Amino acid sequence: MRRLLVSVGLTLAARGVYRIVASGALTLDVGRGRRTRALGPLTWRIGAPRETVFDVIAEPYLGRATRALQEKLHVWERGADMALAAHFTPIKSGVATTVETVVFERPERVTFRLVRGPVPHVSEAFTLRALEDGTELTWEGELGTDFWSLGEWWGERVARAWDRAVRASLDAVASEAERRAARTRG
């Protein structure tokens, strides 16, 4: 009976630690056994001018977030070309909160650097290239974890969720930019 209680206790403790780390409430950054992996690259072709796409990305950070984004994004501090923002992403065990700096280099680049989250290191960028008929937006970056193989295993899980969140976000950016471009043309 004692072994069963200890086993149940350890299982519950492991679940609790998992939820705390997965939610971003605890970032383990010890610098030991650091492993990094690529994020992306993924590319979207958007039927809107580069400036319009850039504005759609920058607006919730440098201006005002739409009502729909207010549940997903809280800007803690903002300047003329930089913001510190908390992002909220639904995950299996609840909601992951990441805090990131976001730097805007109009009109070609937006970079993100993780301050707090489920892993100790993420840096990523959206690069916008003007095309004759719109914009090519490329997302790529790097995700890093500690603790050798265990961290690598964790990083793969986080990277899959990160990828899904970025895809959803950039699909929404593409739709809104194309809607704005069509309104301007029409």
- Model pLDDT, residue 15: 72
- Using alpha carbons only, give the angle 74, 80, 86 rounded to the nearest 5 degrees: 15
Q: pTM of the predicted model, to two decimals?
A: 0.90
Domains of the chain: which residue ranges?
2-185
Integer Cα distance of 154 and 35 in angstroms: 11
The structural architecture, per CATH, of the domain 2-185 is: 2-Layer Sandwich (3.30)
CA dihedral in degrees (94, 171, 159, 156; nearest 10)? 100
Please identify which residue in the block is written with the tokens 């400036």: 51
Ordered per-residue pLDDT tens for the chain, 186 residues: 788 776 767 676 667 666 777 777 888 889 999 999 999 999 999 999 999 999 999 999 999 877 777 889 999 999 999 999 999 988 887 888 999 999 999 999 999 999 999 999 999 999 999 999 999 999 999 999 999 999 999 999 999 999 999 999 999 999 999 999 999 876
**Residue 49 half-sphere exposure toward CB, CA atoms < 13 A:** 11
pLDDT at 89: 86
